[in-house]
Amino acid sequence: MMKDENSRELFLSALSGGKTPRPPIWVMRQAGRYLPEYRALKEKYGFLGIVKTPEASVEAALQPIRRFGFDCAIVFSDILALSEALGYPYEFADGGGIFLPKAISSPRDIQTLPPADVVRDKLSYVANSIKMLRAELPERAVIGFSAAPWTLAAYMVEGGGSKNGFKNFSNFVEKFPEEFSALMDKISEAIAEYIKMQCECGIDAFQIFDSNASYTPEGKYWKLSGAYVEKVLNGVGKGTKSILYLGDFGGRFSEAADIESDAFSVGPSVRLSEIKKSFAKNAALQGNLDPKLLEESSPAEIVSKARDIMKDMKPFGGHIFNLGGGITPKARLENVEALVNAVKNFGE
Ligand code: CP3
Protein backbone atom coordinates (compact mmCIF):
# COMPACT_ATOMS: atom_id res chain seq x y z
CA MET A 1 0.00 0.00 0.00
CA MET A 2 1.16 3.51 -0.82
CA LYS A 3 2.86 5.04 2.20
CA ASP A 4 1.90 8.40 3.56
CA GLU A 5 4.15 8.81 6.54
CA ASN A 6 2.56 11.98 7.83
CA SER A 7 -1.18 11.32 7.32
CA ARG A 8 -1.85 10.51 10.95
CA GLU A 9 0.12 13.49 12.26
CA LEU A 10 -1.47 15.81 9.73
CA PHE A 11 -4.96 14.70 10.76
CA LEU A 12 -4.27 15.04 14.49
CA SER A 13 -2.68 18.44 14.00
CA ALA A 14 -5.65 19.78 11.98
CA LEU A 15 -8.04 18.27 14.51
CA SER A 16 -6.22 20.20 17.26
CA GLY A 17 -6.91 23.41 15.34
CA GLY A 18 -3.38 23.71 13.99
CA LYS A 19 -2.21 25.18 10.70
CA THR A 20 -1.13 22.40 8.35
CA PRO A 21 0.65 22.57 4.97
CA ARG A 22 -2.52 21.10 3.45
CA PRO A 23 -5.70 19.75 5.02
CA PRO A 24 -5.93 15.99 5.64
CA ILE A 25 -8.69 14.33 3.60
CA TRP A 26 -11.18 11.50 4.00
CA VAL A 27 -14.82 11.29 2.87
CA MET A 28 -17.89 10.00 4.67
CA ARG A 29 -19.04 6.60 3.34
CA GLN A 30 -15.71 6.32 1.53
CA ALA A 31 -16.18 2.55 1.43
CA GLY A 32 -19.43 2.31 -0.50
CA ARG A 33 -21.22 1.39 -3.67
CA TYR A 34 -19.39 3.85 -5.94
CA LEU A 35 -16.38 1.49 -5.64
CA PRO A 36 -16.46 -1.62 -7.88
CA GLU A 37 -14.33 -3.53 -5.36
CA TYR A 38 -16.87 -2.71 -2.60
CA ARG A 39 -19.74 -3.96 -4.77
CA ALA A 40 -17.83 -7.22 -5.28
CA LEU A 41 -17.23 -7.59 -1.53
CA LYS A 42 -20.91 -6.94 -0.85
CA GLU A 43 -21.89 -9.51 -3.47
CA LYS A 44 -19.95 -12.09 -1.44
CA TYR A 45 -20.87 -11.14 2.15
CA GLY A 46 -23.94 -8.90 2.04
CA PHE A 47 -23.82 -5.57 3.90
CA LEU A 48 -24.45 -7.00 7.36
CA GLY A 49 -22.00 -9.82 6.61
CA ILE A 50 -19.26 -7.26 5.91
CA VAL A 51 -20.09 -5.35 9.08
CA LYS A 52 -20.01 -8.47 11.28
CA THR A 53 -16.96 -10.20 9.78
CA PRO A 54 -13.83 -8.34 10.94
CA GLU A 55 -11.70 -9.50 7.96
CA ALA A 56 -14.35 -8.23 5.52
CA SER A 57 -14.96 -5.03 7.47
CA VAL A 58 -11.23 -4.26 7.48
CA GLU A 59 -11.03 -5.04 3.75
CA ALA A 60 -13.90 -2.58 3.07
CA ALA A 61 -12.23 0.12 5.18
CA LEU A 62 -8.92 -0.39 3.33
CA GLN A 63 -10.36 -0.32 -0.21
CA PRO A 64 -10.70 3.47 -0.55
CA ILE A 65 -7.27 3.98 1.08
CA ARG A 66 -5.64 1.66 -1.44
CA ARG A 67 -7.36 3.22 -4.43
CA PHE A 68 -7.14 6.91 -3.52
CA GLY A 69 -4.70 7.29 -0.64
CA PHE A 70 -7.08 9.01 1.80
CA ASP A 71 -5.34 10.14 5.01
CA CYS A 72 -7.89 8.49 7.29
CA ALA A 73 -9.75 5.19 7.42
CA ILE A 74 -13.16 4.99 9.04
CA VAL A 75 -14.16 1.76 10.69
CA PHE A 76 -16.65 -0.05 8.47
CA SER A 77 -19.91 -0.54 10.32
CA ASP A 78 -23.20 1.35 10.59
CA ILE A 79 -24.73 3.69 13.14
CA LEU A 80 -27.57 1.18 13.51
CA ALA A 81 -25.28 -1.59 14.80
CA LEU A 82 -25.85 -0.01 18.21
CA SER A 83 -29.61 -0.11 17.78
CA GLU A 84 -29.29 -3.83 17.08
CA ALA A 85 -27.14 -4.30 20.20
CA LEU A 86 -29.92 -2.67 22.24
CA GLY A 87 -32.51 -5.11 20.88
CA TYR A 88 -33.72 -3.28 17.76
CA PRO A 89 -32.11 -4.83 14.67
CA TYR A 90 -32.03 -3.20 11.23
CA GLU A 91 -32.66 -4.58 7.77
CA PHE A 92 -32.46 -3.46 4.19
CA ALA A 93 -35.62 -2.98 2.17
CA ASP A 94 -35.63 -4.63 -1.26
CA GLY A 95 -36.00 -1.32 -3.05
CA GLY A 96 -33.14 0.28 -1.08
CA GLY A 97 -33.29 2.13 2.23
CA ILE A 98 -33.13 0.80 5.71
CA PHE A 99 -35.78 -0.15 8.28
CA LEU A 100 -36.20 -1.57 11.77
CA PRO A 101 -38.79 -4.39 11.90
CA LYS A 102 -39.44 -3.57 15.57
CA ALA A 103 -39.51 0.01 16.88
CA ILE A 104 -39.66 1.50 20.38
CA SER A 105 -43.35 2.12 20.98
CA SER A 106 -44.12 2.14 24.71
CA PRO A 107 -42.73 3.28 28.08
CA ARG A 108 -42.16 -0.41 28.81
CA ASP A 109 -39.86 -0.68 25.78
CA ILE A 110 -37.77 2.13 27.28
CA GLN A 111 -37.68 0.60 30.78
CA THR A 112 -36.59 -2.76 29.40
CA LEU A 113 -33.69 -1.47 27.29
CA PRO A 114 -30.57 -3.39 28.37
CA PRO A 115 -27.82 -1.73 30.48
CA ALA A 116 -25.08 0.14 28.61
CA ASP A 117 -22.40 -2.49 29.17
CA VAL A 118 -24.11 -5.00 26.85
CA VAL A 119 -22.53 -3.12 23.96
CA ARG A 120 -19.10 -4.56 24.81
CA ASP A 121 -20.34 -8.08 24.29
CA LYS A 122 -22.84 -7.45 21.48
CA LEU A 123 -20.46 -5.24 19.50
CA SER A 124 -17.26 -7.16 20.13
CA TYR A 125 -17.08 -7.62 16.34
CA VAL A 126 -16.56 -3.84 16.03
CA ALA A 127 -13.76 -3.99 18.62
CA ASN A 128 -12.10 -6.79 16.65
CA SER A 129 -12.39 -4.87 13.37
CA ILE A 130 -10.84 -1.77 14.93
CA LYS A 131 -7.86 -3.66 16.39
CA MET A 132 -7.16 -5.28 13.02
CA LEU A 133 -7.56 -2.02 11.11
CA ARG A 134 -5.28 -0.20 13.56
CA ALA A 135 -2.57 -2.84 13.08
CA GLU A 136 -2.87 -2.56 9.26
CA LEU A 137 -2.55 1.22 9.19
CA PRO A 138 0.09 2.53 11.58
CA GLU A 139 0.68 5.64 9.43
CA ARG A 140 -2.93 6.69 8.88
CA ALA A 141 -5.60 7.95 11.20
CA VAL A 142 -8.29 5.46 12.19
CA ILE A 143 -11.67 7.02 12.92
CA GLY A 144 -14.38 5.33 14.98
CA PHE A 145 -17.97 6.53 15.17
CA SER A 146 -21.42 6.39 16.67
CA ALA A 147 -24.74 8.07 16.06
CA ALA A 148 -25.64 10.95 18.35
CA PRO A 149 -28.38 10.06 20.90
CA TRP A 150 -30.99 12.15 19.06
CA THR A 151 -30.22 10.61 15.66
CA LEU A 152 -30.23 7.05 17.02
CA ALA A 153 -33.43 7.63 19.02
CA ALA A 154 -35.11 8.95 15.86
CA TYR A 155 -34.39 5.69 14.00
CA MET A 156 -35.34 3.49 16.96
CA VAL A 157 -38.68 5.20 17.55
CA GLU A 158 -39.55 5.79 13.90
CA GLY A 159 -38.53 2.26 12.90
CA GLY A 160 -36.83 3.54 9.82
CA GLY A 161 -35.49 6.39 7.84
CA SER A 162 -36.44 9.94 7.13
CA LYS A 163 -38.96 9.30 4.33
CA ASN A 164 -41.82 10.95 6.20
CA GLY A 165 -39.65 13.42 8.09
CA PHE A 166 -39.54 11.37 11.34
CA LYS A 167 -43.18 12.23 12.05
CA ASN A 168 -43.77 9.52 14.67
CA PHE A 169 -40.59 10.47 16.46
CA SER A 170 -41.47 14.18 16.44
CA ASN A 171 -44.89 13.39 17.91
CA PHE A 172 -43.31 11.22 20.59
CA VAL A 173 -40.84 13.97 21.57
CA GLU A 174 -43.60 16.53 21.84
CA LYS A 175 -46.21 14.43 23.68
CA PHE A 176 -44.02 12.40 26.04
CA PRO A 177 -41.17 14.61 27.33
CA GLU A 178 -40.43 12.41 30.36
CA GLU A 179 -40.26 9.21 28.35
CA PHE A 180 -38.13 11.02 25.79
CA SER A 181 -35.59 12.10 28.38
CA ALA A 182 -35.51 8.59 29.93
CA LEU A 183 -34.84 7.14 26.49
CA MET A 184 -32.15 9.72 25.73
CA ASP A 185 -30.39 9.07 29.06
CA LYS A 186 -30.23 5.34 28.37
CA ILE A 187 -29.10 5.74 24.78
CA SER A 188 -26.47 8.33 25.79
CA GLU A 189 -24.95 5.91 28.31
CA ALA A 190 -24.82 3.13 25.73
CA ILE A 191 -23.18 5.44 23.19
CA ALA A 192 -20.55 6.61 25.70
CA GLU A 193 -19.73 2.98 26.55
CA TYR A 194 -19.54 2.08 22.87
CA ILE A 195 -17.17 4.95 22.08
CA LYS A 196 -15.02 4.16 25.13
CA MET A 197 -14.66 0.62 23.84
CA GLN A 198 -13.57 1.97 20.45
CA CYS A 199 -11.03 4.31 22.09
CA GLU A 200 -9.52 1.36 23.98
CA CYS A 201 -9.04 -0.40 20.62
CA GLY A 202 -6.79 2.39 19.35
CA ILE A 203 -8.84 4.85 17.28
CA ASP A 204 -7.32 8.32 16.76
CA ALA A 205 -10.67 10.12 16.87
CA PHE A 206 -14.38 9.39 16.80
CA GLN A 207 -17.13 11.04 14.81
CA ILE A 208 -20.59 11.43 16.30
CA PHE A 209 -23.20 11.51 13.54
CA ASP A 210 -26.07 13.83 14.39
CA SER A 211 -27.41 13.47 10.87
CA ASN A 212 -30.93 14.24 12.06
CA ALA A 213 -29.95 17.45 13.88
CA SER A 214 -32.08 19.55 11.52
CA TYR A 215 -35.21 17.66 12.65
CA THR A 216 -35.09 19.40 16.02
CA PRO A 217 -37.48 22.37 16.09
CA GLU A 218 -35.78 25.75 15.61
CA GLY A 219 -34.18 26.90 18.87
CA LYS A 220 -34.51 23.47 20.53
CA TYR A 221 -31.33 21.78 19.35
CA TRP A 222 -29.39 22.17 22.59
CA LYS A 223 -32.21 20.94 24.81
CA LEU A 224 -33.28 17.98 22.68
CA SER A 225 -29.96 16.84 21.27
CA GLY A 226 -26.86 18.90 22.02
CA ALA A 227 -27.04 18.48 25.80
CA TYR A 228 -26.99 14.69 25.34
CA VAL A 229 -24.04 14.88 22.94
CA GLU A 230 -22.24 16.84 25.67
CA LYS A 231 -23.16 14.10 28.15
CA VAL A 232 -21.65 11.49 25.83
CA LEU A 233 -18.44 13.54 25.44
CA ASN A 234 -18.15 13.88 29.20
CA GLY A 235 -18.78 10.16 29.62
CA VAL A 236 -16.03 9.29 27.15
CA GLY A 237 -13.50 11.71 28.68
CA LYS A 238 -10.89 13.86 27.00
CA GLY A 239 -8.34 11.24 25.93
CA THR A 240 -9.50 10.87 22.31
CA LYS A 241 -10.55 13.68 19.99
CA SER A 242 -14.09 14.10 18.72
CA ILE A 243 -15.82 15.33 15.56
CA LEU A 244 -19.53 16.16 15.61
CA TYR A 245 -21.37 15.88 12.29
CA LEU A 246 -24.39 18.19 12.09
CA GLY A 247 -25.22 17.93 8.40
CA ASP A 248 -27.16 20.73 6.83
CA PHE A 249 -28.25 22.82 9.74
CA GLY A 250 -29.35 26.05 8.09
CA GLY A 251 -28.15 29.08 10.00
CA ARG A 252 -28.50 27.26 13.31
CA PHE A 253 -24.90 26.32 14.12
CA SER A 254 -24.78 28.63 17.11
CA GLU A 255 -27.35 26.31 18.78
CA ALA A 256 -24.46 23.82 19.03
CA ALA A 257 -22.00 26.36 20.47
CA ASP A 258 -21.95 24.86 23.98
CA ILE A 259 -20.87 21.42 22.80
CA GLU A 260 -17.21 20.89 23.61
CA SER A 261 -16.32 18.88 20.54
CA ASP A 262 -12.83 19.22 19.06
CA ALA A 263 -14.28 19.57 15.56
CA PHE A 264 -17.57 20.12 13.76
CA SER A 265 -18.45 18.58 10.40
CA VAL A 266 -21.10 20.40 8.39
CA GLY A 267 -23.23 20.13 5.28
CA PRO A 268 -22.37 21.63 1.88
CA SER A 269 -24.60 24.71 1.95
CA VAL A 270 -22.41 27.00 4.08
CA ARG A 271 -19.04 28.71 3.72
CA LEU A 272 -16.77 27.30 6.44
CA SER A 273 -15.10 30.63 7.24
CA GLU A 274 -18.52 32.18 7.89
CA ILE A 275 -19.68 29.62 10.44
CA LYS A 276 -16.29 29.30 12.20
CA LYS A 277 -17.29 31.86 14.83
CA SER A 278 -20.40 29.83 15.76
CA PHE A 279 -18.21 27.33 17.59
CA ALA A 280 -15.73 27.33 20.45
CA LYS A 281 -12.66 29.40 19.72
CA ASN A 282 -10.29 26.83 18.36
CA ALA A 283 -12.69 24.11 17.18
CA ALA A 284 -11.60 22.55 13.90
CA LEU A 285 -13.99 22.35 10.95
CA GLN A 286 -14.53 19.40 8.66
CA GLY A 287 -16.07 19.60 5.20
CA ASN A 288 -17.72 20.47 3.02
CA LEU A 289 -17.73 19.80 -0.73
CA ASP A 290 -21.20 18.98 -2.04
CA PRO A 291 -21.29 15.19 -2.67
CA LYS A 292 -23.57 15.79 -5.69
CA LEU A 293 -20.67 17.47 -7.51
CA LEU A 294 -18.85 14.14 -7.60
CA GLU A 295 -21.73 12.76 -9.69
CA GLU A 296 -22.30 15.73 -11.96
CA SER A 297 -19.10 17.72 -12.42
CA SER A 298 -15.83 17.25 -14.26
CA PRO A 299 -12.47 16.66 -12.56
CA ALA A 300 -11.44 20.25 -13.40
CA GLU A 301 -14.53 21.67 -11.68
CA ILE A 302 -13.93 19.47 -8.64
CA VAL A 303 -10.36 20.73 -8.36
CA SER A 304 -11.55 24.33 -8.57
CA LYS A 305 -14.29 23.91 -5.92
CA ALA A 306 -11.96 22.01 -3.60
CA ARG A 307 -9.35 24.77 -3.87
CA ASP A 308 -11.99 27.41 -3.04
CA ILE A 309 -12.85 25.59 0.19
CA MET A 310 -9.19 25.14 1.14
CA LYS A 311 -8.32 28.79 0.42
CA ASP A 312 -11.31 29.91 2.45
CA MET A 313 -10.03 27.97 5.49
CA LYS A 314 -6.28 28.48 5.04
CA PRO A 315 -6.04 31.63 7.19
CA PHE A 316 -7.60 29.77 10.14
CA GLY A 317 -6.01 26.32 10.03
CA GLY A 318 -7.87 23.50 11.75
CA HIS A 319 -9.42 22.23 8.53
CA ILE A 320 -10.10 18.59 7.70
CA PHE A 321 -11.25 18.16 4.13
CA ASN A 322 -14.38 16.05 3.65
CA LEU A 323 -17.69 16.15 1.83
CA GLY A 324 -20.75 17.84 3.30
CA GLY A 325 -22.51 14.44 3.40
CA GLY A 326 -21.85 10.83 2.48
CA ILE A 327 -20.46 10.02 -0.96
CA THR A 328 -23.20 8.63 -3.20
CA PRO A 329 -23.28 5.42 -5.28
CA LYS A 330 -23.18 7.51 -8.49
CA ALA A 331 -19.99 9.41 -7.62
CA ARG A 332 -17.47 9.12 -10.48
CA LEU A 333 -14.12 7.56 -9.68
CA GLU A 334 -12.15 10.09 -11.74
CA ASN A 335 -13.74 12.91 -9.74
CA VAL A 336 -12.78 11.34 -6.42
CA GLU A 337 -9.24 10.86 -7.69
CA ALA A 338 -9.07 14.48 -8.83
CA LEU A 339 -10.35 15.60 -5.43
CA VAL A 340 -7.72 13.70 -3.46
CA ASN A 341 -4.96 14.96 -5.75
CA ALA A 342 -6.18 18.55 -5.47
CA VAL A 343 -6.05 18.36 -1.68
CA LYS A 344 -2.69 16.59 -1.56
CA ASN A 345 -1.13 19.09 -3.98
CA PHE A 346 -2.56 22.16 -2.25
CA GLY A 347 0.06 24.62 -1.10
CA GLU A 348 2.79 23.20 -3.35
O1 CP3 B 1 -18.29 6.22 6.20
C2 CP3 B 1 -17.97 5.03 6.06
O3 CP3 B 1 -17.45 4.56 5.02
C4 CP3 B 1 -18.10 4.13 7.27
C5 CP3 B 1 -19.26 3.37 7.43
C6 CP3 B 1 -20.63 4.00 7.61
C7 CP3 B 1 -21.78 3.48 6.98
N8 CP3 B 1 -22.87 4.15 7.46
C9 CP3 B 1 -21.77 2.38 6.02
C10 CP3 B 1 -22.97 2.19 5.21
C11 CP3 B 1 -21.04 5.05 8.43
C12 CP3 B 1 -20.20 5.98 9.27
C13 CP3 B 1 -22.47 5.13 8.33
C14 CP3 B 1 -23.28 6.09 9.09
C15 CP3 B 1 -24.73 6.13 8.91
N16 CP3 B 1 -25.59 5.09 8.69
C17 CP3 B 1 -25.50 7.30 9.05
C18 CP3 B 1 -24.97 8.65 9.40
C19 CP3 B 1 -24.39 9.34 8.23
C20 CP3 B 1 -25.37 9.94 7.29
O21 CP3 B 1 -25.41 9.51 6.14
O22 CP3 B 1 -26.08 10.86 7.71
C23 CP3 B 1 -26.85 6.95 8.85
C24 CP3 B 1 -28.04 7.88 8.88
C25 CP3 B 1 -26.90 5.54 8.64
C26 CP3 B 1 -28.10 4.67 8.44
C27 CP3 B 1 -28.02 4.06 7.11
N28 CP3 B 1 -27.21 3.00 6.81
C29 CP3 B 1 -28.65 4.49 5.92
C30 CP3 B 1 -29.62 5.64 5.80
C31 CP3 B 1 -28.19 3.67 4.90
C32 CP3 B 1 -28.50 3.77 3.43
C33 CP3 B 1 -29.50 2.79 2.91
C34 CP3 B 1 -29.43 2.74 1.40
O35 CP3 B 1 -30.22 2.01 0.82
O36 CP3 B 1 -28.58 3.40 0.79
C37 CP3 B 1 -27.29 2.74 5.48
C38 CP3 B 1 -26.56 1.69 4.79
C39 CP3 B 1 -25.10 1.88 4.65
N40 CP3 B 1 -24.27 2.13 5.68
C41 CP3 B 1 -24.34 1.76 3.45
C42 CP3 B 1 -23.00 1.95 3.80
C43 CP3 B 1 -21.80 1.86 2.90
C44 CP3 B 1 -24.90 1.42 2.08
C45 CP3 B 1 -25.19 -0.04 2.10
C46 CP3 B 1 -24.88 -0.72 0.83
O47 CP3 B 1 -23.72 -1.16 0.65
O48 CP3 B 1 -25.77 -0.88 0.04
In tens, the pLDDT along 310-344 reads 999 999 999 999 999 999 999 999 999 999 999 99
> Where along the chain do its domains lie?
7-344
In tens, the pLDDT along 245-267 reads 999 998 899 999 999 999 999 99
Nearest in space to 64 (alpha carbons), one of 144, 149, 146, 1: 1
Atom of ligand 1 nearest to the CA of 98: 33
Q: What percent of the chain has pLDDT over 70?
A: 99
**Any ligand 1 atom below 6 A from CB of 42:** yes
**Any ligand 1 atom below 6 A from CB of 98:** yes
**Any ligand 1 atom below 6 A from CB of 29:** yes
C-alpha pair distances (Å), 119 with each of 183, 270, 280, 306: 16, 36, 31, 39
Predicted pLDDT at 3: 55
**Any ligand 1 atom below 6 A from CB of 34:** no
First to last CA, the chain: 24
**With helix as H, strand as E and coil as C, how does 210-265 read?**
CCCHHHCCCCCHHHHHHHHHHHHHHHHCCCCEEEEEEECCCCCHHHHCCCCCCEEE
In tens, the pLDDT along 103-135 reads 999 999 999 999 999 999 999 999 999 999 999
Can you tell me the distance from the alpha carbon of 157 to that of 103, in angstroms, rounded to the nearest whole number? 5
**Any ligand 1 atom below 6 A from CB of 30:** yes
**Mean predicted confidence (pLDDT) in 42-57:** 97
Q: Which CATH architecture has domain 7-344?
A: Alpha-Beta Barrel (3.20)
Q: Which protein residue's CA is at the shortest distance from atom 13 of ligand 1?
A: 78
**Any ligand 1 atom below 6 A from CB of 67:** no
Q: Out of 61-70, 141-150, 158-167, pick the least confident.
A: 158-167
Band (280; pLDDT cuts 50, 70, 90): confident
